[in-house]
Structure 1
Amino acid sequence: MRRPSHLTVKLIGFFVALLLILPTLVVIPMSFTGKASFVFPPESWSLRWYREFFEDSAWYGSLQRSLLIAVLSAAVATVAGTMAALGLVKWTRARAVAGVRAILLSPIVVPGIVLAIGVYTAFLKFGIVGTTGAFVLAHAALGLPYVLVSVSATLASVDPNLERAAVILGATRWSVIRSVTLPLVMPGVLGGALFAFVTSFDEILVSLFIKSPFLETLPVRMYVSVVSDTDPTIAAASTIVLAITTAVLLLGAWGVSGRLRLMKGKAAR
């Protein structure tokens, strides 16, 4: 069987990327329309709907809450996921490791609606539905698998002899993790943190179940707006979400690549 040529693969990739980008190329221009309804292409241009977004406490407040929850949940997921990855690598019982890993990765395997109902039921029992803590815990659980996979993949490329050398030289286990292991896996940690942040910032299904009238994230607010309103503020909100997500990913990619270049430079010396 003949393999597809390099050019064929590039063309397929280009058309797939174009298919994914096309909705964005429609939404962004509509967010700058001067009309009070969705018009494409816009007949007039205005920043009216961005002004509406930032002047409306419901819209702007939901953005602030989404950013806060995303940062907190990414921090929790990063710490927990990194600790889990380190522990699973050091654990020698293969069957137990596979079982624990499957449990930790289940949030990206279990259907979203099943996960949302389960989270809602558990949080309702503990009386924390509609609180910031509930959102942070739920979103951290959704982001943890990405941190676990990212850090585990980076750990697989770490030379264990470096840790053994540190132990032979008298370093304690904690010193080895802090001074040797964590710096080596930092690109994986940063990558996992980025995915955890984006996962939380874009999450809607679980958030719909655990929201309250006084606490809703931006994706939930966008969903409610689609159901009840028809003005282009939703297009402005979508563009803002896209801009923040893209900026975070680009900044993270720059940080990870810079970290890798620094590590390669030190290794070369």
Structure 2
Amino acid sequence: MSLPSYTGPIGRIWFFSVRSFAVMVLLFLILPVLVVVPLSFNVEPYFSFTHGMLTLDPQAFSLRWYRSLLDDPLWLLSFKNSFFIAICSTAIATGLGTLASLGLSRSNLPCKGLLMGTLISPMIVPVIISSAGMYFFYSSLGMGQSYVSIILGHAVLSTPFVIITVTATLVSFDHSLTRAAAGLGASASYTFWQITMPIIRPGILSGALFAMVTSFDEAVLVQFLGGVEQRTIPRQMWSGMREQISPTILAAATLLIVGSIALLIAVELMRRRSLRLRGVIE
């Protein structure tokens, strides 16, 4: 990127300093990912780069740990549970978060700030405190160590992300569109699905993505609410680090990384498609 001809020495220094700092921050964030992925293909049971890997010897790379992952019934159960819990909790969080955002977007809503703070408080309160509270609450209802308690707990932790993203989308929403639809005789449900939903869909999809990632990443809550059968990927990884350190953990982490990247790409493509349909971009 070339600078304008009138840029002075201080401007040039600031330009390159800011971008250099941004590159350093980016490398700091993605460096663990760049380390985990190649180590998952290590033929040896080590958490370090061998001489063969550093010299790019094909014999030093293997799918051994991915085969071990697929042959282990505990890992397969963890993936099955994580997908099931994530899908259910994401559906609940997306529905509740969207409804809450629609209510918070109303200008005549009393105590809007207090309600907003209460709804997003699970993001602020330490997870271990929320998990302990949920443990005592669900245990008193006879729902301890069950899929239902974990799904509801994940939904509680994920809903704030949906509220924030959908609320941010509704900030630029023109409410005169819904009033015009109501004036023309459209029902509330028709107005929502045909007018409101297409506009706020990118925010809903982004919130659902954050909710799903939060569910997949949550390792504390399942320690309180999960039983023997409720193993999730983070819980299995934590158990593996404590009981038997194996590069199988790196293989599982790599699959999660690839899945997260695929979700991000899918959401971005859907966002661009929505903007294209609305005529915002070509």
Q: Which of 94, 98, 102 does residue 117 from structure 2 map onto?
A: 102
In the alignment, structure 1 residue 200 sits paired with structure 2 residue 209: no
How far off is 1:91 after superposition? 5.9
Task: Identify the residue that residue 45 of structure 1 maps to in structure 2.
Answer: 61
Task: Identify the residue that residue 5 of structure 2 maps to in structure 1.
Answer: none
| Worse-superposed segment, 25-34 or 218-227 | 25-34
RMSD (Å) for aligned C-alpha atoms = 1.9
- Structure 2: runs of 5+ lacking an equivalent: 1-9, 53-59
Task: Identify the residue that residue 81 of structure 1 maps to in structure 2.
Answer: 97
Task: Identify the residue that residue 232 of structure 1 maps to in structure 2.
Answer: 247
Secondary structure at the aligned position of 1:90 is classed as coil
Alpha-carbon distance between aligned partners in 1 of 2:142 and 2:14, rounded to the nearest angstrom: 58
In the alignment, structure 1 residue 5 sits paired with structure 2 residue 14: yes
Q: Write out the 4+ residue segments of structure 1 that deviate beyond 4 Å after TM superposition.
A: none
CA contact (8 A) 1:78 1:192 kept: yes
More helix by percentage: 1
Aligned-residue identity in percent: 36
Task: Identify the residue that residue 30 of structure 1 maps to in structure 2.
Answer: 39
Counterpart residue type for residue 246 of structure 2: D
How far off is 1:160 after superposition? 1.5
* Number of residue equivalences: 265
How far off is 1:7 after superposition? 3.1
Q: How does 1:1-269 map to 2 (within 5 A)?
A: 5-41=14-50, 43=52, 44-90=60-106, 92-95=108-111, 97-264=112-279
CA contact (8 A) 1:143 1:199 kept: yes
CA contact (8 A) 1:53 1:60 kept: yes
Secondary structure at the aligned position of 1:92 is classed as coil
How far off is 1:181 after superposition? 1.2
Alpha-carbon distance between aligned partners in 2 of 1:20 and 1:115, rounded to the nearest angstrom: 28
Counterpart residue type for residue 163 of structure 2: L
Alpha-carbon distance between aligned partners in 1 of 2:47 and 2:187, rounded to the nearest angstrom: 63
How far off is 1:42 after superposition? 6.2
TM-score normalised according to structure 1 size: 0.92
TM-score normalised according to structure 2 size: 0.88
| Worse-superposed segment, 9-18 or 214-223 | 9-18
How far off is 1:178 after superposition? 2.2
Alpha-carbon distance between aligned partners in 2 of 1:169 and 1:36, rounded to the nearest angstrom: 68
Alpha-carbon distance between aligned partners in 1 of 2:17 and 2:87, rounded to the nearest angstrom: 40
Alpha-carbon distance between aligned partners in 2 of 1:42 and 1:104, rounded to the nearest angstrom: 52
Q: 1:42 to 1:119 in 2, by over 3 A?
A: farther
Counterpart residue type for residue 53 of structure 1: L
